[in-house]
Chains A and B, each alone.
With several copies, the nearest count.
Chain A
Amino acid sequence: MTIQLHFFASLREALGSDGETLELERDGLRVADVLDLLRARGGCWQDALGEDKTVMAAVNQEMCGHETCLADGDELAFFPPVTGG
């Protein structure tokens, strides 16, 4: 399945990317699985998405937990806690 990834704010800067299209061989992955895949890239990926960081997620523009299941074509965003207002 294909997932559209987006990164925002400090995460975007740390990764040097605002997103990418991710092709996944397996179906039925959760948000946490995608995080694991990205961390496995090592370097800035491992650091910025480390277990010690608070990484928020949104699927199809709705905030969600890391256990949320993904479907083909989903838009998945990762970002730090929000600081508006």
Chain B
Amino acid sequence: MEQVVVTAEPFDPHVETEKLHGENPSIGAIVDFIGWMRDFNDGDSVSRMTLEHYPGMTEKALRKIVDEALRRWDLLGVRVVHRVGELKPSEPIVLVAVASAHRGEAFRACEFLIDYLKTCAPFWKKESTIAGERWVEAKRSDEAARGRWEDASKSS
């Protein structure tokens, strides 16, 4: 199964998680992160969003992050799916699903993956508000979230 998918089509996070579990009876835990498009950001209502990416590099960057997670933790599977193109509120933007025998590894790896994705994978969001279109600014808190993983070698 392809671990990394970048798609311009809407996707169903549940179908993706189902694929990860398959009927693999040694999987004891799955932790999923699903990021949804919100109808409100920075004080304005948002009616539409366009997600731009860097074809080729984006997939490579995601695969590199997944490989790092597989190196750090004992996992039974990883799936990362990210939308690009035009999105409407309440559509899923990203799914990060991690399977493991025990839950600690899956929690750590899932949060690691989304923290790195947010700061190292080339995606850019543009929002449509009543005042027009605007590019979303990078958040300092995302940089800080990623920083937590840099000193730590293998977290428990």
Measured CB to CB, the residues of A under 8 A from B are: 6, 8-10, 54, 58, 61-63, 77, 79-85
Contacts and interface: CB of A to CB of B under 8 A. Distances in A.
Main secondary structure of the interface of B (DSSP, over half): mixed
7 contacts: A10-B135, A58-B57, A62-B57, A63-B120, A80-B124, A81-B119, A84-B53
A82 B124 contact: yes
A58 B54 contact: yes
B82 A84 contact: yes
Interface in B60-113: 60-61, 82, 93-94
A85 B93 contact: yes
A43 B69 CA distance: 44
Contacts of A82: 118-124, 138
Given A9-B124, A58-B122, A84 B57 contact: no
A6 to B, nearest CB: 7
Interface of B: 35, 51-54, 56-57, 60-61, 82, 93-94, 114, 117-126, 135-139, 142
A58 B61 CA distance: 11
Contacts of B61: 61, 63
A80 B138 contact: yes
Contact of A61 (B57, B120, B125): B57
A84 B51 contact: yes
Given A62-B60, A81-B119, A83-B139, 15 more contacts: A8-B52, A8-B124, A9-B52, A77-B57, A77-B122, A79-B54, A81-B137, A82-B118, A83-B124, A84-B93, A84-B94, A85-B35, A85-B82, A85-B93, A85-B118
| The 3 nearest A-B residue pairs measured at CB | A84-B123, A81-B138, A9-B124
